[in-house]
Amino acid sequence: MRHRNIVLTLKQVAVHVLTTAMRGSTAIGLKGTRMSRILQTFKETIRNPYSFPGGYTIALYFLDGERVCTKCARDEWKLICDDTINGWGQWQAGYAGVYWEGPPQDCVHCYDPQDSEYGDPDEVSDAQV
Half-sphere exposure of 35 (CA within 13 A, CB side): 27
Q: Is residue 36 part of a domain?
A: yes
Which residue type is seen at 4?
R
Number of domains in the chain: 1
State pTM to two decimals.
Answer: 0.64
In a domain, 2, yes or no: no
| pLDDT single digits (tens) 83-121 | 888 888 888 988 888 989 999 999 999 999 999 999 888
Domain with 75, as residue range(s), is 10-128
The answer to whether 59 and 73 have CB atoms below 8 angstroms apart is no
What does the pLDDT look like over 63-73, one tens digit per residue?
998 999 989 99
The long-range contacts involving 60-64, CB below 8 angstroms and separated by at least 24 positions, are 60/93, 60/96, 61/94, 61/95, 61/96, 61/97, 62/90, 62/91, 62/92, 62/93, 62/94, 62/108, 63/28, 63/92, 63/93, 63/94, 64/90, 64/92, 64/94
- Whether 4 is covered by a domain: the verdict is no
pLDDT score at 12 = 54
Whether residue 88 lies inside any domain: the answer is yes
Asked if residue 1 belongs to a domain, the reply is no
Q: Is 120 a domain residue?
A: yes
Does 15 map to a domain?
yes
